[in-house]
Structure 1
């Protein structure tokens, strides 16, 4: 089969198109003929071995695929941290979900990582309540585009989007944000308070890191919560001052998607299954939509990683292993 393989860690230049033996599904696993694979910012961390889960070489990157099983089921799945950039992939049965009729490949891939992440950030990490103000950083990205829609759908009083260009800010507004501001603001604290009509904010969803995180924490009002789920700037925020959290009654939470597969849910099995069930239904009902961000062939995967790293992209990016 054709696949993208890494034999040394680094930037986009380490991604090589190769021929590899077909993978074999073991006990409790599913073999999937891949129609599309998801391209995520986390994949750029896999390539340089700076991801939360350490990688080993050789490596076929990619953590999510959509396609068909040998018995004809159409599924979307999370692989075991890697293996997605290929014509065939193996995924644990636990992280394989049947795709309902009416949900296309792009949307299925948008939901399994970005959609589930947005759901968890709002439902579990920040416990967003109706009427609260919600800041979505990187609002034109994969998680951001879903988070803006969910926050508005679930009754946020004011959704404040940040993005780096006029086109991205317009997209956020089209998806339901009440206001969209420049993510490059020199004083993010002041910009967020101004965007919230002079009030400090209740909820912040942040995957940027560095000064954006630091200044967003300061923008929180009493009982405000910031959920931190990535570091796209590759700059670490300052250590959290617990005393300052106490003084202002604020909270900072971290969120990593794999933990949702370990937390049990009485009705759906795991928290991830609960999130996916609700998200699929919202899509089928026409209440949430995925935003296409671009489709790349095998020979264009380096360009895809360059686009991700430069943060030029919008919505969901996918890889077509057939070309």
Structure 2
């Protein structure tokens, strides 16, 4: 089969190599899956660089989120068991963690319903307890993680402020349903948030960026507000001033979705049921900005790493076109 492999750390476009290898052999409790679509996540780029907390043995195949097909024909969502990741024709995954792919979504959309939307659901509902009528601010609102949070926030009845970088992403955020869109490249984010909220600030702030975005969050969080720390796409991990959190009376909430798979897997299944229901009624629908063939995976992972994509980019083995 064909699979992308990483033999050394570096930029994805430089270290990902397409090779002909044997199909992976499932271990105890694992199943072999034919990859129908693999969604590109920022951690795929971090693993190529050697900067992710998970460091699979080399050579490894990136791709942590797929829609696959079991040998008995079931269409499922899975997180492949590394080093046999999803940017390949076949992958392996733990059978106990498989989730049924929603009938309302195609393969690429289904693959994208997993990590980003689970993270959003746990972050907004389990951690921050977002309520209808509250104001939600989402950093990187046009990206894969941010776009999921925007849709989930709207579905929960929140007023959503999206922060993006550039005109193209501004349009994407508006189309996603943001009530207010702030272009951080052209506007003062802090002033714009305060103006749009009448000086009150945002009740919940969803931050997959870190760095300057986190600093801005601390200046626009409302009384009894909650900042949900999801990741550090900026490359800068902030050092929060706890005296500031005390004086302004806000909460800083960490979210590591992967822990729920080991600590409370039943809650992951419950979340998937909620997401499947939302998708069935059209309240959420993953934004797939590109569908690329397997041969285009390396360049696509690099684009995600460079922050120039919107929504999700999916690798679809056998797909002839390079986008839509």
TM-score, with structure 1 as normaliser: 0.93
Output the CA distance in 1 between the equivalents of 2:257 and 2:205: 18
Asked if 1:249 corresponds to 2:245, the answer is: no
2:46 corresponds to: 45
1:133 alignment partner in structure 2: 135
Where in structure 2 are the equivalents of 1:57-76 lying within 5 Å?
A: 57-76=58-77
Task: Note the alpha carbon deviations across 1:173-223, whole angstroms, 9 max, x for none.
Answer: 222211100133675333322232322211110111111111212211211
What SS class does the counterpart of residue 107 from structure 1 fall into?
A: helix
Q: How does 1:302-313 map to 2 (within 5 A)?
A: 302-313=298-309
Helix, strand or coil for the counterpart of 2:113? helix
Q: In 1, are the aligned partners of 2:2 and 2:18 still within 8 Å (CA)?
A: yes
User: What are the within-5 Å matches in structure 2 for residues 135-150 of structure 1?
Assistant: 135-150=137-152
Once the two structures are TM-superposed, the CA of residue 108 in structure 1 deviates from its matched residue by 0.9
- Between the aligned partners of 2:55 and 2:72, the Cα distance in structure 1 is 33
What is the alpha-carbon distance in structure 2 between the residues aligned to residue 185 and residue 214 of structure 1?
A: 18
- String of CA shifts for 1:254-288, please: whole Å, max 9, x gaps: 21221121232xxxx52211111111111112221
- Partners of 1:91 and 1:248 lie apart in 2 by 45
Q: Once the 2 structures are TM-superposed, how far is the Cα of residue 294 of structure 1 from its aligned partner?
A: 0.6
Would you say the 8 A contact 2:65–2:112 is kept in 1?
Answer: no
- 1:296 maps to what in 2? 292
Q: 1:280 aligns with which of 276, 279, 297?
A: 276
2:162·2:173 contact (CA, 8 Å) conserved in 1? yes
Q: How far apart in 1 are the matches of 2:240 and 2:291? A: 39
Tell me the residue number matched to 2:322.
Answer: none
Question: Equivalent residue for 2:20?
Answer: 19
| Aligned partner of residue 289 in structure 1, secondary structure | coil
**Partner in structure 2 of residue 106 of structure 1:** 108
**TM-score, normalising length from structure 2?**
0.93
Unaligned runs of 5+ in 2: 320-324
Please, which moves more after superposition, 176-185 or 127-136? 176-185
Structure 2 counterpart of 1:87: 89
* Total equivalences in the alignment: 317
Is 1:6 matched with 2:2? no
SS in 2 for 1:203: strand
Gap runs ≥5 in structure 1: none
Structure 2 distance, partners of 1:186, 1:166, is 12
TM-aligned CA deviation for residue 109 of structure 1: 1.0
